[in-house]
Structure 1
Amino acid sequence: MEAPDITIIGVGRLGNSLAKALSAAGIPIKSLYNRTANKAQKLAADLNINVSGSFPSDDHELGDLIFITVADGAIEGVAHRLADITEDFSAKTIVHCSGNESAIILADLKSKGGSIASFHPLQTFTGYSEPSDFEEIYFSLQGNKSAFPQLKEVAKRLGAETLEVTEDQKSHLHVAAVLASNYLNTLLDAAVETASASGLAPKKAKKALMPLVKTTLQNIEDQSFEDALSGPIKRGDLQTVEHHLDLLKDKPELLALYQILGQRTVELAKKSQQIDHDTARKMIKMLK
């Protein structure tokens, strides 16, 4: 299957990264738009794209596949405005890339014959993202199945995988992504704060912890969660856990975080059968 020519509306972090990755993969981009037109025009010039501006003025400027990569709160408004351009979207596939919103938010375009879908990348993007950041990631697909073949081809060209989900599955997957990505960031920030509580420089603490984090992630990828688990709770080391709790007694937020994650870790350790029922019970009592 040939990749369709593409329009991108919104060139923030995701839209910018997507445009560069599509271009690098040899997928034709017909037009780029952004609320601040000069941002779209600059990117268009960099990627040799002929059509750009603040918003398409007619359907002749639109590709066969239209990505709406604006903030979640702006998607419906953009879709409504886009629907005013023409009465016939039957030859178009329109997708948004929000993890939180369903494809149905594009209903205005569906009512005019368009195929609609959500195409959410399970990846984090920054101003420094590269086309390679799309390789081996997953896009969740939700919406009209007629849109899926084109989107699967785009994902394939980017070196990515796809996962078809229901609306409910999509919502839960997005919560999971926040836990796995955003909250991992927060957890590591808390770990550095803990290490720095006795005067160790935060930068040194972060540098010392990162190899551990990377190895842990690799172990999780290669093994089950319970087999990849290590540390005092898996060993049933009540004395060490008690000492940790005492060290954090003057840091209530860090203490609460340690306790709730510790309780979850006890349940994981029980699955690995590394601690007995009595030790697990004592550990849970200590962590409450």
Structure 2
Amino acid sequence: MKKPRITIIGLGSVGTALLNVLTKSGYEVISVFNRSEIDPELIRNFPDTYFSKGLPNNENKLGELTFLTVSDDAIDSVATQLSERCTDLEDKSVVHCSGVHASKILSPFSKKGASIASFHPMKAITPKTSSFENTWFDVEGDGAAIRWLEDLADSLNAHVFEVEPKAKPLLHASAVVASNYLVVLAELVTKISALGGVPEDTALKAITPLMENTLRNVKELGVTEALTGPIARGDLKTVKQHVESLKNAPELLSLYKTLGIEAVKIAVRKNGETDSLEEIRKLLS
């Protein structure tokens, strides 16, 4: 399938990353629109792309595939405003990259003949993101738009999987846990280590390789088999010592106990119910 010409509306982290990656991958990004002034250096770096502040006045500046990469809260109003300026969007697709919204939020474009879809990257993206290799995108929407996106992902050495609209907010919540809450866990690591006088930078240098190794184990072995440590072994005395050492930091102890209870559930799946796991459950409860 011939590569579509691309339009990007919204130069946040995702929009800027798409501009960089798609151009580098041989896509013709014909136009970029942004609600605020565009960095002149960015314009100089992409001399073949038309840049403009605000929204297009009509469909003439839109490529075959338009990415609406504005904030989640702005998608509805931008879709309404832009669609009202367009007359005929046949043979065009409009896509948003929100994790929580389904493609139906783009229905104003459907009324003008466009196919619509959502295309959400399961990746922590910054404006410096230079590749989507091995990134997974959840997609849903019209077949014509999804075919464009499948081909696009394939050309970027990325992957797509189709989801039902109702799965979008749940999948996004899981992505928040996987990405944002991993940062929260790193913060928890530094706070607990600090109680023992270990500096934050030292704790992170020591612990992040362990976190990375655990993520590899989760990927290769699955959640249940990846669980190691005192709860997986049923080491009641070790867990008691942890609880005792955290008694003067009630907020940290509460988090440790809450996460520990979930670890007990995994340990039971892995090794079956044991007396030691029951005692650990009681201790953490």
Q: Shorter chain as normaliser: what TM range? A: over 0.9
Match of 2:30 in 1: 30
User: Could you tell me which residue of structure 1 aligns to residue 71 of structure 2?
Assistant: 71
Q: Secondary structure of the residue that 2:219 maps to in structure 1? A: helix
Match of 1:80 in 2: 80
Amino acid of the structure 1 residue aligned with 2:50 = V
Amino acid at match of 2:209: P
The SS at the match of 1:272 is helix
Corresponding residue for 2:125? 125
Could you say which residue in structure 2 is the equivalent of 1:92?
Answer: 92
Matches of 1:229 and 1:213, distance apart in 2 = 12
Q: Write the distance in 1 (CA, Å) between the matches of 2:253 and 2:72.
A: 34
CA–CA distance in 1 between the matches of 2:279 and 2:154? 50
Structure 2 gap ranges (5+): none
CA distance in 2: counterparts of 1:106 and 1:276, whole angstroms: 50
Aligned to 1:45: 44
SS in 2 for 1:38: coil
In the alignment, the residues of structure 1 paired with residue 117 and residue 124 of structure 2 have an alpha-carbon distance, to the nearest angstrom, of 20
2:244 is the alignment partner of 1:279: no
Code of the residue aligned with 2:11 in structure 1: it is V
2:161 is paired with a residue of what secondary structure?
Answer: strand
3-state DSSP of counterpart to 1:117: strand
Which secondary structure state, in structure 1, belongs to the residue aligned with residue 185 of structure 2?
helix
SS of 1:84 mapped into structure 2: helix
Sequence identity (%): 37
Whole-angstrom CA distance in 1 between matches of 2:226 and 2:38: 49
Unpaired runs of 5+ residues, structure 1, are: none
Q: Tell me the C-alpha RMSD between the 2 structures.
A: 1.3
User: Given that residues 29 and 49 in structure 2 are in contact (C-alpha distance below 8 angstroms), is that contact kept between their aligned partners in structure 1?
Assistant: no
The number of aligned residues is 284
The 5 A counterparts of 1:4-19 are: 4-19=4-19
User: Structure 2 counterpart of 1:188, which letter?
Assistant: A
What is the letter of the counterpart of residue 24 of structure 1?
A: K
CA distance in 2, matches of 1:113, 1:266: 53
Q: Distance in 2 between matches of 1:128 and 1:59?
A: 29
Q: Contact 2:58/2:87 (CA < 8 Å) preserved in 1?
A: no
Q: TM-score, normalised by structure 2?
A: 0.96
CA distance in 2, matches of 1:16, 1:9: 10
Q: Offset of 1:276 from its aligned partner?
A: 4.1
Task: Please give the residue correspondences for 1:230-241 in structure 2 after superposition, counting only pairs within 5 Å.
Answer: 230-241=228-239
With structure 1 as the length reference, what TM-score do the two structures score? 0.95
CA deviation profile, 1:98-136 (whole Å, cap 9, x unmatched): 0011111111111111111110000001243222xx100
SS of the counterpart of 2:85? coil
Letter in 1 for 2:124: T
Change in 2 beyond 3 A, CA 1:61/1:283: same
After superposition, residues 158-197 of structure 1 pair within 5 angstroms as: 158-197=156-195
Name the CA distance, whole Å, in 2 between partners of 1:203 and 1:116: 46
**What does residue 146 of structure 2 align with?**
148
Counterpart mapping for 1:128-139 below 5 A:
128-131=128-131, 134-139=132-137
Distance in 2 separating the partners of 1:286 and 1:160 = 45
CA distance in 2: counterparts of 1:286 and 1:145, whole angstroms: 53
Alpha-carbon distance change, 62 to 42 in structure 1, aligned in 2, over 3 angstroms:
farther
Aligned mates of 1:23, 1:91 — CA distance in 2: 22
Moved over 4 A (4+): none
Code of the residue aligned with 2:202 in structure 1: it is K
SS state of the match for residue 267, structure 2?
A: helix
Q: Does 1:20 align with 2:17?
A: no
Corresponding residue to 2:254 among 253, 256, 268: 256
Q: What residue number does 1:215 align with?
A: 213
Please tell me the residue identity of whatever aligns with 1:17. A
Contact 1:57-1:85 within 8 A present in 2 as well: yes
